[in-house]
């Protein structure tokens, strides 16, 4: 019986934080009030596994704010063993972590205050522990201990991978995040013992370290890591012999399904490797012959046994989704969605101009005369803004309706061009990535097709930070700029993200000082600046915009500001519509013809 067929029979609390089915036998684990409960089947009584869960203090089976945002990129912290015999779970202790507090204004007479444990750079971070529960006897729990080499100081748990029901692989990171330790554990009937196999990979971690994919011998594994030249490759690690072999290709993501590995090259290709006890096959390209002009950015989603997969093409043409047969050479079975209706709307109803892309250190969308607008939405370390993904967004409107040239540029610090370029801003955020945006604009001016007196820039989050740093550089190139939810000072942002690139403030004092927007406030007198933020932003706190505003006022700088009451970092709902209408008015004023 499939889980979905009897979900209605399962009795669980109405406000459940997490619900996870076991891979077999329809066992169920869920989290309620930060405690874990087990159900051996749909109608069985729930067994409470943990009893110490407490909001903002002890969290079992779910991550806290910073683990969800910066470590797991997920709200799940429960991992079933392959046959559902054991359940591993994370326990987060936020007891010593300082709270961020902000008001929710609502409609009542008095606002309410929200408290969230939020470790800022240099402050106390959460304590993470990993436990394993015997499902048949939930009172039997054992802790998977962090290796002493990492556990001697502050650290993070990064990934949990079940190899077998009795073997577990865990990646641990020291607080500095400049190395990752992959430790394999075996269960001896009482405890989870460290094996002699331990892979310590030293690197500058400006990306999330990939989880391992284990081979048939349950000891060797495949893992994406940098090679000696600083490019991401798939490596085969013979753990017993402690050897590492590079396989092929640079800078890709990895998807796994049973006995095959699927590689998604970041720019254009999806590849397949078949694995057996004797080794692995040569890579087979799954997308090389699939709509080559239309599809140069692809992803794939697989059936349970990998016999079929859905190939997702995201551009540069209109997105295309096809069902593929994976039993032998990959072949197309059916087109699931070809976006013919969207094509008709774009070409006939909206009468949008043809989008022309030029790649000269940047992507220029809609090469038209008049103003130039540099776009930097996130643009943080390891990001990529210039790619082959088809998008309909504000930039599309600006270039098609407002006749604005849009450029996105990936400078130093961006990803998928090798570690040397990505690591250039390590320890010094707000330097080279800012300089490169300015250099790109100078290059555009030299090319002669833009109005050098009407150049603007905008960004959101890290992009808002870079925009503000660029406008505050005093370059004289920009007439205006928009910063949505920007960072002002890295001291105010979370410890996991900030220290990954900047270390702790006391270890890197000069770089922290040089990376602040507020210290550049006097240079904003020569530009038109709009500052936007949500008052309930739990990510980049409203404190950041408040400090920028204060610094501008103290330096007698005239600027525009817009806040969105009770809105978080995403400014969702009606606020999003209001935002873009407001930004559009700002740009129209900025780019108005001189009289």
Q: Residue 424 and residue 260: Cα distance in Å, rounded?
A: 35
Residue with tokens 């405690």: 35
Q: Classify burial at 386, counting beta carbons within 10 Å of its beta carbon; exposed 0-12, middle 13-18, buried 19 or more.
A: middle
Annotated active-site residue in 461, 468, 511, 515: 461
Q: Is the peptide bond before 19 cis (omega within 30 degrees of 0)?
A: no
Report d(CA 395, CA 386) in Å as an integer: 13
C-alpha 498/C-alpha 489 separation (Å) is 10
Structure tokens at 308: 């079929």
| Coil/strand/helix, residue 409 | coil
Write out the two tokens for 26.
């329809």
Q: Kindly give the residue spans of alpha helices, DSSP state H, lying in 67-221.
A: 148-151
Per DSSP bridges, beta strands 179-187 and 192-202 are: antiparallel
**Token digits of residue 547:** 């400090």
Q: Where is 47: in which H helix or E strand?
A: strand 47-48
Helix (H) / strand (E) containing 471: helix 462-471
Secondary structure in 3-state letters for 85-104: CEEEEEEEECCCCCEEEEEE
Whether 537 sits among the annotated catalytic residues: the reply is yes
Q: How many residues does the chain have?
A: 595
Kindly calculate the radius of gyration of the chain based on its CA atoms and give it in whole angstroms.
Answer: 26
Q: What backbone phi and psi angles, to 5 degrees, belong to 175?
A: -55, -35
The active-site residue, picked from 94, 419, 537, 541, is 537
Residue 339 near residue 393 (C-beta atoms within 8 A): no
Q: 255, 423, 541, 569: which is the annotated catalytic residue?
A: 569
569 a catalytic residue: yes
Residue for token pair 């619900």 = 19
Show the CA angle centred on residue 306, arms to residues 305 and 308, nearest 5°: 120
Which tokens belong to 398? Answer: 């600006």
CA pair distance 484, 478, nearest whole angstrom = 17
3-state secondary structure 288-350: CCCCCCCECCEEEEECCCCCEEEEEECCECCCEEEEEECCCCCEEEEEEECCHHHHHHHHHHC
Q: Is 503 a catalytic site residue?
A: no
Q: Which residues contact 125 (CB under 8 A, 6 or more apart)?
A: 66, 97, 119, 154, 156, 175, 495, 496
Q: How far apart are CA 464 and CA 542, in angstroms?
A: 13
Q: What angle do CA 125, 465, 516 make, to 5 degrees?
A: 70
CB atoms near residue 397 (< 10 Å): 15
Assess contact for 206 and 161: CB atoms under 8 A.
Answer: no
Residues annotated as part of the active site: 461, 537, 569
């Amino acid at each position: 019986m499939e889980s979905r067929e009897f979900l209605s029979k399962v009795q669980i609390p109405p406000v459940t934080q997490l619900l996870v089915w076991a891979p077999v036998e329809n066992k169920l684990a869920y989290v309620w009030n930060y405690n874990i409960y087990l159900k051996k089947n749909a109608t069985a009584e729930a067994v409470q596994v943990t009893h110490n869960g407490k909001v903002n203090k002890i969290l079992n089976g779910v991550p806290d704010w910073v683990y969800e945002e910066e470590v797991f990129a997920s709200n799940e912290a429960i991992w079933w063993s392959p046959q559902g015999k054991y359940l591993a779970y994370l326990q987060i202790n936020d007891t010593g972590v300082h709270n961020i507090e902000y008001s929710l204004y609502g409609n009542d007479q008095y606002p309410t205050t929200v408290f969230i444990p939020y470790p800022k750079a240099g402050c106390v971070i959460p304590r993470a522990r990993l436990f394993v529960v015997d499902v048949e006897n939930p009172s039997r729990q054992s802790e998977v201990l962090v290796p002493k080499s990492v556990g001697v100081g502050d650290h993070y748990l990064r990934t949990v991978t079940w190899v077998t029901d009795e073997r577990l692989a865990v990646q641990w990171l020291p607080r500095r995040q400049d190395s990752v330790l992959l430790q394999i554990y075996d269960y001896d009937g009482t405890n989870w013992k460290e094996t002699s196999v331990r892979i310590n990979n030293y690197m500058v971690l400006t990306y999330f370290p990939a989880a391992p994919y284990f081979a048939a011998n349950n000891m060797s594994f495949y893992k994406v890591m940098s090679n000696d030249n600083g490019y991401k490759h798939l490596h085969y690690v013979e753990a017993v012999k402690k050897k590492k072999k590079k396989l092929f290709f640079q800078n890709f993501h990895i998807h796994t399904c049973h006995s095959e590995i699927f590689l998604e090259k970041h720019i254009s290709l999806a590849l397949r490797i078949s694995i057996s006890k004797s080794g692995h096959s040569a890579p087979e390209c799954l997308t090389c012959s699939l709509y080559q002009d239309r599809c140069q950015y692809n992803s794939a989603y697989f059936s349970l046994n990998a016999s079929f997969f859905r190939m997702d093409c995201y551009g540069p043409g209109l997105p295309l989704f096809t069902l593929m047969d994976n039993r032998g050479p990959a072949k197309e079975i059916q087109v699931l969605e070809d976006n013919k209706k969207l094509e008709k709307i774009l070409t006939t109803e909206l009468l949008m101009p043809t989008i022309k892309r030029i790649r000269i250190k940047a992507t220029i969308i809609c090469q038209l005369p008049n103003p130039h607008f540099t776009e930097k939405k996130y643009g943080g370390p390891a990001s990529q803004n210039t790619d082959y993904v088809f998008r309909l967004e504000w930039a599309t409107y600006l270039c098609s309706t407002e006749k604005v040239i849009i450029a996105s540029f990936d400078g130093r610090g961006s990803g998928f061009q090798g570690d040397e370029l990505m690591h250039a801003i390590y320890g010094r955020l707000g330097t080279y990535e800012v300089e490169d945006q300015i250099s790109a604009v100078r290059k555009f001016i030299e090319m002669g097709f833009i109005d050098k007196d009407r150049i603007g820039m905008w960004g959101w989050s890290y992009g808002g930070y870079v925009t503000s740093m660029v406008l505050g550089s005093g370059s004289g190139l920009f007439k205006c700029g928009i910063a949505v939810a920007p960072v002002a000072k890295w001291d105010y942002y979370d410890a996991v993200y900030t220290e990954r690139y900047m270390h702790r403030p006391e270890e890197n004092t000069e770089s922290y000082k040089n990376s602040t927007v507020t210290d550049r406030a006097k240079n904003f007198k020569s530009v038109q600046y709009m500052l936007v933020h949500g008052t309930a932003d739990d990510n980049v706190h409203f404190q950041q915009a408040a400090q920028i505003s204060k610094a501008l006022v103290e330096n007698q700088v005239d600027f525009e500001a817009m806040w969105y009451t009770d809105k978080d970092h995403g400014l969702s709902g009606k606020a999003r519509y209001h935002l873009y209408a407001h930004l559009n008015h700002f740009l129209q004023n900025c780019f108005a013809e001189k009289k």
